[in-house]
Amino acid sequence: MRFRAALLSACVLLSLTAIQGTAQCGPEMEKQIADVRSSWVTGWNDGQLGKVVDLYHRDADVLAADGSRAHGQDEIRVSP
């Protein structure tokens, strides 16, 4: 019983530490995120797939709604 209580306490403390350790975005980072979001939406709406894919890191992983994974820009470009 004590082990379970100690384990539960440790889990709670770790989760609180993770929440408190979350980095906050400054105004410059918020602008960068907004710019990337805007570029992604514009590229998508204009049908410019190359522009959209270029926003991802070359080793990025993207999970599709069906659970399939595309790794890297080349796979992201041809994923369903």
Distance CA 18, CA 20 (A): 6
**8 A C-beta contact, residue 43 and residue 35:** no
Q: CA torsion sign, 60 to 66 to 74 to 71?
A: positive
So what's the pLDDT on residue 64?
Answer: 85
So what's the pLDDT on residue 1?
Answer: 46
So what's the pLDDT on residue 48?
Answer: 93
Q: What residue segments make up the domains of the chain, in order of their start?
A: 38-80
Each of the 80 residues of the chain gets a pLDDT tens digit; together they read 455 555 555 555 555 555 555 567 788 888 998 999 999 999 999 999 899 899 999 999 999 888 899 999 999 888 76
Q: What distances in angstroms separate CA 56 from CA 11, 14, 35, 72, one per listed residue?
A: 34, 31, 14, 8
What are the residue ranges of helices labelled H in 1-80? 2-20, 27-45, 49-53, 72-78
